[in-house]
A and B are shown apart, each in its own frame.
Chain A
Amino acid sequence: MEAKKLFFAVSLIVIFLMYAVPYLVLSGNAGHYTLVFWAGLSAAYLAFVFLLTRR
């Protein structure tokens, strides 16, 4: 898949997950899961952008 199309598809998924997982899946769960999810997904996305810009 072309890099820009791959980036677009992955980005849409990441953006959807940023909203959906904390509000729908983790909703009401006490603890650190929400914090770790948001920070972890953002870090993974940064790593993805890094890899694509190095290509």
Chain B
Amino acid sequence: MESLSMYLALVIYLGLGTAVALFSRKFLRRDARDFYTAGGRFGTLLSSLSYAATTYSAFMFIGLVGYAYSTGVGTLGFELVYFVGTLFLLYYIAPKYWALHKRFGYVSPAEVLSERYGSRVVGATVTLLALVSLIPYASSQVIGVAIAAEGASGGAVPYTWAVVIAIVVALLWSVIAGIWSVGWTDVLQGMIMLGTGILMVLWVYLWGYSNASFDLASLGSLSYVPNQFWSFAVFLNMTVPWFFFAVTNPQVVQRLFAPKDRKALNGMIIWFGAYGLLFTVLVTLMGLMLRGMTLGGTFPLITYRDSVTPTLLGMAPLWLSVLGLVAVLAASVSTIDSIILTLSSMAVRDVLEPYRPSPSARTGLLVGRIVIVVLALACTLFALARPGFIVDLAVLSSSLLLPQAPVVIGMFVWRRGGKASATAAIISGFAVAIALYFLKLSPLGLPMNAWTLVVSTLVYVGAALVEKAPDGVEKFAGAWEESKA
């Protein structure tokens, strides 16, 4: 009966989502710019919920709940540093990206970097970096779905099946109408995620309260920092790449092209902020409450932290288990399809087209589809291997993308530097991140991500001091000024 209900719920979710995706086709104009960026025609609702659903993923429902349960309130600080950093960066950078798209029609985030730094090598480098770095992140979404499905169904929905379902749905919804189908299904999924999050927290609170076992004060060292896990070095290491997420992750940068006007763009920032703050507090509280209930004896002690939410779904009433599973699937799919779509656009615009001028539309489409399939296969294999915890995989992805931060920020605040500055900063930062990650070193007591940021920034600044910006850099500033008029 339970597995029947689970499969029925999944069929309804897939049917509804696919109907929404097909409905969205009526907005699609048949060109690449519209397919990947909506031609800058998203209103506030689509922009904000799509940005939120793309950003918030299984990382929140599975990873962050488990992290709060295992390590305490430091988890909230870690995620809220991301939140503050994102608002800070969006306030400055979102209007500039948006204005550049309006003025020059850029499709991929790497294309902007190529133009500013005067060489397509920069865009190709960023694209290769993104292709490598985002596989662990996309895979962690699939792992989240599969673990939740196993837990919620008591094993009736097997891990492998859940992996396949998540990948197929993400592929389907991204190819139906590109950003339009992804955006409209994001609206649906964003509402499912937040609504279910609220219901789950309410139910946990009432369940814990009625059993008189919920007490945050009993958490002891888990209720403050530093504690046995959240030393300052750990907190710094995890927050540095997360702080710059909004400018280093191409799937969210590309979303900045979509709003139809400045009002929609500002609305996107604010409504995303309201959504993100509420969602972050909800999932963190859920983890802390469940830990309090473990201490009170009404929730089992979980040692594998990614199993906290699946265990809860297995214990909850059937209606909540089903909703929870659908919400985790929605959170994952809304992120995976965006990543796949963005990487596909980057592969075509920043790797194929510069090195094979004027490819036919058919060739471009074929390469895009090949990239989508290869990425899907890579994510499937990665997810089936279950290489690590969801939060760790997500942070690893952001660590590898971090060397872009000085290059992107420098593009907007400094009129120096060209191809050599940008590529040297990215390659040196990436090399440092990889070396310190595998050697597990923290020279001078500074964590890996701090070194990555310091090295890439120093290389960028040092090289840009001696390398002039290419001709045409002024047109960037001109576009921003035009957008204010």
A49 partner, pick from B76, B220, B270, beta carbons under 8 A:
B270
B87: A residues at CB distance < 8 A: 45-46, 49
What residues of A have a CB within 8 angstroms of the CB of B83 in the complex?
A: 42
CB-based contact A14/B73 at 8 Å: no
Which residues of chain A are near B80, meaning CB under 8 Å? 18, 38-39, 41-42
A50 and B270 in contact, given A22-B77, A39-B80, A43-B277 (Cβ under 8 angstroms): yes
A39 with B281: CB separation less than 8 A: yes
Q: Does B23 contact A (CB under 8 A)?
A: no
Most buried by B among A15, A26, A29, A52: A15
Where chain B touches its partner, the secondary structure class is helix
Is the CB of B11 closer than 8 A to any CB of chain A? Answer: no
Chain A residues in 8 Å Cβ range of B19: none
Contact-residue bracket for chain B: 20 to 34
Please provide the chain A residues from 1 to 55 with a CB less than 8 Å away from any CB of chain B in the complex.
Answer: 4, 7, 11, 14-15, 18-19, 22-23, 26-35, 38-39, 41-43, 45-46, 49-50, 52-54
| Residues in chain B near residue A43, CB distance under 8 A | 277
Evaluate contact between B224 and A27: CB separation under 8 angstroms: yes
A26, B76: Cα distance in complex, Å: 15
| B223, A30: Cβ atoms closer than 8 Å | yes
- Closest A residue, CB atoms, query B76: A38
* Known contacts A15-B85, A18-B84, A22-B77; is-contact A53 B270 (Cβ 8 Å): yes
In the complex, are the beta carbons of B84 and A28 less than 8 A apart? no
Q: Are B269 and A18 in contact (CB under 8 A)?
A: no
B226 proximal to A (CB < 8 A): yes
Return B467 CB to nearest CB of chain A, in Å. Answer: 27
Partner of A11, one of B81, B88, B223, B235: B88
**10 examples of A-B residue contacts, CB within 8 angstroms:** A14-B84, A22-B77, A22-B224, A22-B225, A28-B226, A34-B73, A41-B84, A46-B87, A49-B270, A49-B273
B residues engaging A (CB < 8 A)? Answer: 73, 76-77, 80-81, 83-85, 87-88, 91-92, 216-217, 220-221, 223-226, 232, 235-236, 239, 266, 269-270, 273-274, 277, 281, 288
- Besides A42-B84, A46-B270, 19 more A-B contacts (Cβ < 8 Å) are A4-B92, A15-B84, A15-B85, A18-B81, A19-B81, A19-B239, A23-B225, A23-B226, A23-B235, A29-B224, A34-B77, A35-B76, A38-B76, A39-B76, A39-B80, A42-B83, A45-B87, A46-B87, A53-B270
